[in-house]
Amino acid sequence: MLVRTPRSLFLAIATLLCVCSTHAQILLPDLGNSASTQMSAEEEEAQGHSFYMQLKRSGYVIEDPIINRYINQLGQSLVSTQTNNEREFTFFVVNNPQINAFAMLGGYIGVNTGLILASESESELASVLAHEITHVTQQHLLRIMEKMNEQALPVSAAILAAILLGQSNSMLAEAALYSAVAKQAQTAIGYTRAHEHEADRIGIDMLAEAGFEPMAMASFFSKLEKNYRYNDNSLPEYLRTHPITSNRISDAKNRASGIEIKAVNNQDSFIFTRSRINVSTLLKNSEFIDYWEKEYQKNPQLEPGDLYALALAYIADSQYKNALHISKTLLQQYPHNMAIIETHAHLLHILSQHKDAQTLLKKGLELYPFNNALTLALSKQYIETNQLKEARKLLSTLVEQTSSLEGYQLLSKVESDAGNEGYSHFYLALYYQKQKEYPLAMTQLRYARENTGNDFYLSSRVNDLMDTISPHIEKISQQTKRKKP
């Protein structure tokens, strides 16, 4: 593949530098262990987590619990087919219309909203995740770094976040970086063609093993190639960073044709999550509502996903009774769907039908114990109706079972509303600690210590957590000193 412009070069390099790994799964072929000597698992995790937190702090990572649960459940269903895995994967959705997905060090895999909306089936979306998972398990980034004499990572760090999100458009910045990475780029491009084919091959096997349609990868590639064949200027980021050729599509089809499908996955969760993302990215809900109201009048039997999207658009437009009418219909059709349960309960709560809303969420939690999205929804309703004891009990169980970040946040609010400032700061410290934001966690612990009063139990917990965090603070301090000239 020829490098036509500096921008093309950076897009290729940066994503290749994000596509990375450490451990292996699904009895993957052993291609050697030299890559693992480049960076320890702890260092990989630290790098990947750092990039991930940069995206979160910038507001690009979608925080919707329903969407997060779906993408992680989908990703983990693929990961679970693998064996000998010691890697923890984190899947997340980036609010970006570009059709793209990427893997980073430490098993962090991001998917743009644009790619999810471009996927016409759950199997197509799963095929992209399987491809990215394979980049991680096969240690592709570390192999590139080895091939490029370890010069890739320092270059990538400076431009990574901008590249991933398609924000790098400065010709001056491109010119400055071009000479530093041009030689390494030519090496990486040739070396990674084999990685793409390997990720396709193993990813297709992973799809079938998890019960998805193995032909989905080839069909998704074909659709993208056909839609953008004659327009290189509008080429989506996924095609820039994962070049698709006729040979690659043919190989994917041949690989999938010889695989027997073990099961067919349920599409409902994909359809409703896709609708949720679609409405969340709308700029004008009124135009969306006008269009779908006319369609609904023509045909009351709209597709469930379209109907759900209309209900969500009504909510965004404060037309709660119209939304409730639709959500009630959908709940009758999909009584066990978590997204529908959460949406209908939310509407009941808005319309002051608190008892019915809480009863519905409790039934949902009987179906899905310790479910993060439903527990948070019920806890928020408890807080808003001043049922602080119920909220505290529910959230305490949630964080004990799942270490939910949002759970710690809400617990902090519950304790603050109850006048327990010491506990409020303590739970906020836990929230930061779980994200490895150690300085912020320590600050909250100092506030908590000032507000423990005569509570020996809280004082003991605060001191124990300080002892746990202190080595990390010291390590950060040492790293900062080393960086100073």
SS3 27: coil
Encode pLDDT of 317-327 as tens digits: 999 999 999 99
Residues 6+ apart with CB under 8 A from 159: 10, 14, 168, 173, 177
Residue where one domain finishes, among candidates 257, 281, 302: 257
pLDDT of residue 175: 37
d(CA 453, CA 421): 10
Based on the domain organization, do 102 and 141 belong to the same domain?
A: yes
pLDDT of residue 259: 78
pLDDT of residue 193: 66
Encode pLDDT of 397-423 as tens digits: 999 999 899 999 999 999 999 999 999
pLDDT of residue 229: 56
Q: For residue 16, give Cα distances in angstroms to 27, 198, 481, 482.
A: 24, 14, 31, 28
Encode pLDDT of 54-77 as tens digits: 889 988 999 999 999 999 999 999
SS3 37: helix
pLDDT of residue 237: 53
- Is 194 a domain residue? yes
Based on the domain organization, do 192 and 323 belong to the same domain?
A: no
Q: CB–CB of 189/243 below 8 Å?
A: no
Based on the domain organization, do 194 and 63 belong to the same domain?
A: yes
Based on the domain organization, do 299 and 345 belong to the same domain?
A: yes
Residue where one domain finishes, among candidates 257, 279, 302: 257
Phi, psi values for residue 61, rounded to 5°: -85, 125
Based on the domain organization, do 240 and 273 belong to the same domain?
A: no
pLDDT of residue 401: 94
Based on the domain organization, do 100 and 160 belong to the same domain?
A: yes
Average pLDDT of 216-230? 74
Enclosing domain of residue 274 = 266-353
pLDDT at 9 over 60: no
pLDDT at 151 over 70: no
pLDDT of residue 192: 64
Confidence of residue 212 (pLDDT cuts 50, 70, 90): very high
Based on the domain organization, do 112 and 200 belong to the same domain?
A: yes
pLDDT of residue 187: 45
pLDDT at 21 over 50: no
- Is 369 a domain residue? no
Q: Which one is predicted more confidently, 298 or 38?
A: 298
pLDDT of residue 198: 79
How many domains does one find in the chain? Answer: 3
* 208-222, 307-321, 409-423: least confidently modelled range: 208-222
Confidence of residue 347 (pLDDT cuts 50, 70, 90): very high
Based on the domain organization, do 223 and 344 belong to the same domain?
A: no
Based on the domain organization, do 297 and 249 belong to the same domain?
A: no
Confidence of residue 263 (pLDDT cuts 50, 70, 90): low
- Is 375 a domain residue? no
Based on the domain organization, do 322 and 193 belong to the same domain?
A: no
Encode pLDDT of 85-132 as tens digits: 778 899 999 998 888 888 888 899 999 999 999 999 999 999 999 998
Phi-psi region of 51 (alpha: psi -120 to 50; beta: other; left: phi over 0): alpha
Based on the domain organization, do 71 and 203 belong to the same domain?
A: yes
**What CATH number is associated with residue 319?**
1.25.40
CB-side neighbour CA atoms (13 Å) of 396: 10
- Is 414 a domain residue? no
E strands within 33-133? 90-94, 101-104, 108-112
State the chain's mean pLDDT as an integer: 80
Q: For residue 187, give Cα distances in angstroms to 2, 13, 172, 191, 482.
A: 12, 10, 24, 6, 31
Based on the domain organization, do 146 and 32 belong to the same domain?
A: yes
pLDDT at 278 over 80: yes
Global model pTM greater than 0.85: no
d(CA 460, CA 423): 12
- Is 371 a domain residue? no
Q: Which two tokens stand for residue 316?
A: 């965004």
pLDDT of residue 92: 96
pLDDT of residue 426: 98
Residue where one domain finishes, among candidates 257, 279, 309: 257
Encode pLDDT of 152-176 as tens digits: 455 444 444 444 444 333 333 333 3
- Is 410 a domain residue? no
pLDDT of residue 185: 44
- Is 379 a domain residue? no
What percent of the chain has a predicted confidence (pLDDT) above 90? 49
Confidence of residue 474 (pLDDT cuts 50, 70, 90): very high
| DSSP-assigned beta bridge partners for residue 92 | 110
> Residue 46, Cβ neighbours under 10 Å: how many?
15
- Is 373 a domain residue? no
pLDDT of residue 170: 38
pLDDT at 20 over 50: no
d(CA 388, CA 371): 20
